[in-house]
Amino acid sequence: MTFLLYNTLVTLFLVLYSPIHIIRLIMGSKYRESTLPRLGFQKYPQADKSRKTFLIHSVSVGETQVAGTLATEFKAQDPNCRIFVSTVTETGQAVAAKLKDIDGHLYLPYDLWPFTNKLFKIIQPDAVIVVENDLWLNYLHSAHSRNIPCFLVNGKLSESSLRSYKKFTQFGHLLFDPIKHFFVQSDSYQQRFENMGIKDQDITVCGNIKLDSKIPHLNQDELNNFTQSLGLNHKSLDHCLIFGSTHAEEEELALKVHQEIKIKFPGLQTIIVPRHPERFDKVASILEKSGTPFSRASQITAGAKSDEILLVDQMGVLMKLYQIGSIGIVCGTFTDKVGGHNFLEPAFYEKAFVYGPWTFSQPGFYQLCQQADAGIQCSAEQLATTLETLLQDPQKQALHGQRGKKIIDSAKGAVHHTVEAINNLISE
């Protein structure tokens, strides 16, 4: 009955939403690229039973990076295996296209049985791996009906999600039933899954794979080439703020903070990196209207110099920017509509980092930072003062960077243990 109701509601939603979606596509919606593939109009990789095939599903940027880390480890343990990554968003596809150790990427079809069944009929993977929490009923049961084991990796379950599942217990059990094993980030997540009735022996705490990623570390020549390509020089990097993964209203905040701080630090360089590429032009318009000199990374020519504000309208370079910057401001935390990203990304390079009051999307990272006294949390109103204090105190910057790096170092091995366990489980 629950299954029938779910499929009826999904079908009804797609039918009723279609006119709105078509209008948005005509007006240049960000979903233009993904609509037809998600309806099944895309080329799926063919089955190859002579090699193990893993289908890893992620949602967007952060989860797709985890998928890349998993793919690298799967290839390390079995160079002959095949790895395919599915995503929901177009930004996720852009990240997947740059992953080195995968054999292909595709869009996850809409969660209706004919679409999901077609996918598994063609690909026939040996295992399905879902990163974090993007679980879809028909997708999981289509795999399960073909005896394809499903795994949740880097799993998490928020308190609000737990309450929602408990209100609809039958749906929750139906959703989790096809999952053979849960690899979760922390003890608190394990307890929440156990509260949903998952057996203890079916859950393993492996830590957060996002902290076990192989992050690019540029050598000096690469750093010089990278900074020059952005119109930056060593002097402009003395006091350089990186506003990473910004969302609506956070660019205005970055602009306001820049204007306040540059009074004390005239050579201040502020770099703004929007989270989603479809917002690049809008952010450029905001900066243009402000009257503050700014440059777009995509328009900088050889030998040119960036203005005091640099808008990075490119994908896949945020981690490199954290390496060259002075302080990372991890955005998505200054808006209650997002609730945060990975606060510890700047700490991979032992850089100080600041984040805002909204952290509900990243409770694991928040807990780690609080326990280690790593990073500084502040409100939007306190941000300019907080950054001024850090810029004036290099030792304090170094201390917070070191504390964050210790958290990352302690997480090493999560991906190796996870992949090793999955290989053992599918070989049983």
Q: CATH number of the domain at 326, please.
A: 3.40.50.2000
How many CB atoms are located within 10 Å of the residue 159 CB?
Answer: 11
What is the pLDDT at residue 63? 92
What is the pLDDT at residue 136? 96
Domain count for the chain? 2
Q: How far apart are CA 226 and CA 46, in angstroms?
A: 39
237 in the same domain as 196: no
190 in the same domain as 163: yes
What is the pLDDT at residue 67? 96
Instruction: Give me the count of residues in the chain.
Output: 428
Tokens 């910004």 belong to 246
Q: Is residue 1 part of a domain?
A: no
258 in the same domain as 189: no
Q: Is residue 125 part of a domain?
A: yes
Q: Is residue 109 part of a domain?
A: yes
365 in the same domain as 249: yes
What is the pLDDT at residue 27? 67
Contact yes or no for 310/231 (Cβ under 8 A)? yes
186 in the same domain as 44: yes
What is the pLDDT at residue 314? 93
How many CB atoms are located within 10 Å of the residue 308 CB?
Answer: 17
How many CB atoms are located within 10 Å of the residue 68 CB?
Answer: 23
Q: CATH number of the domain at 93, please.
A: 3.40.50.11720
pTM over 0.85: no
The tens digit of pLDDT for each residue in 110-125 reads 999 999 999 999 999 9
Backbone angles phi, psi at 301, to 5 degrees: -95, 165
282 in the same domain as 383: yes
258 in the same domain as 191: no
Q: Is residue 5 part of a domain?
A: no
269 in the same domain as 188: no
291 in the same domain as 144: no
Q: Is residue 95 part of a domain?
A: yes
Structural domain of 286: 220-410
274 in the same domain as 247: yes
What is the pLDDT at residue 24? 67
Q: Is residue 198 part of a domain?
A: yes
Q: Is residue 140 part of a domain?
A: yes
243 in the same domain as 176: no
Low-confidence ranges of the chain (pLDDT < 70): 1, 20-21, 23-30
Which residues make Cβ contacts (< 8 Å) with residue 22, sequence separation at least 6? none
141 in the same domain as 38: yes
What is the pLDDT at residue 228? 94
Q: Is residue 323 part of a domain?
A: yes
What is the pLDDT at residue 4? 82
Q: Rounded to the nearest 10 degrees, what angle do helices 394-410 and 383-392 cross at?
A: 100
What is the pLDDT at residue 23? 67
Q: How far apart are CA 37 and CA 212, in angstroms?
A: 32
